[in-house]
């Protein structure tokens, strides 16, 4: 057996709750591919910006826009070579969310799989947290 070079000590900490770290937003491979395709012919834009606004029968809805610059309060998500910025107002509503892109014969859209949502309207367009 080899001799240990360092020691480690473990201490119990009272009244402190450790929370798991979660990414603000993760992108599926389909979402990464679609964002890359959307931005390839638009060199003036550096990524997409996700926001939230009041709309619909249940309160909030997500918005997606092209962006030319990062605002001071934006959270930056860089994954597989694409950049998504999250507006300050939307940051807490997106915590732990997966952004996907789904295409069918009738529609193509980004889907936000959000574990924080408490309720949605019937059409799935608006939500509340």
* CA distances from residue 69 to 39, 65, 79, 86, 103 in whole angstroms, order as listed: 14, 12, 17, 12, 29
Question: Is pLDDT above 60 for 10?
Answer: no
pLDDT digits (tens, 9 = 90+) for 60-119: 777 889 999 999 999 898 888 999 999 988 887 778 888 888 888 888 888 888 776 666
Q: Is the pTM of this model over 0.85?
A: no
**Cβ neighbourhood burial of 98 (10 Å; 0-12, 13-18, 19+):** middle
- 52 CB contacts (<8 Å, ≥6 apart)? 60, 61, 62, 63, 87, 89, 90, 93
Mean pLDDT of all residues belonging to the chain: 76
Rounded mean pLDDT of 28-47?
A: 92
Say what the pLDDT of residue 64 is. Answer: 87
Please report, for the chain, the start and end positions of each structural domain, with discontinuous segments joined by +: 25-128
What average pLDDT does range 23-48 have in this prediction? 90
Top pLDDT among 48 and 117 is at 48
CATH class (in words) of the domain with range 25-128:
mainly beta
């Amino acid at each position: 057996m080899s001799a240990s070079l360092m020691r480690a000590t473990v201490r119990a900490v009272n009244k402190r709750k450790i929370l798991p770290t979660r990414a603000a937003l993760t992108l599926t491979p389909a979402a990464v591919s679609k964002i890359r395709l959307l931005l390839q012919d638009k060199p003036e834009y550096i990524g997409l910006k996700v926001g939230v606004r009041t709309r619909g029968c249940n309160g909030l809805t997500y918005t997606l826009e092209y962006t030319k610059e990062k605002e001071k309060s934006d959270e930056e998500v860089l994954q597989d070579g694409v950049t998504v910025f999250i507006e300050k107002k939307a940051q807490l509503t997106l915590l732990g969310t997966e952004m996907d892109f789904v295409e069918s014969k009738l529609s193509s859209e980004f889907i936000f799989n959000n574990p924080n949502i408490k309720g949605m309207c019937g059409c799935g367009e608006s939500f509340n947290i």
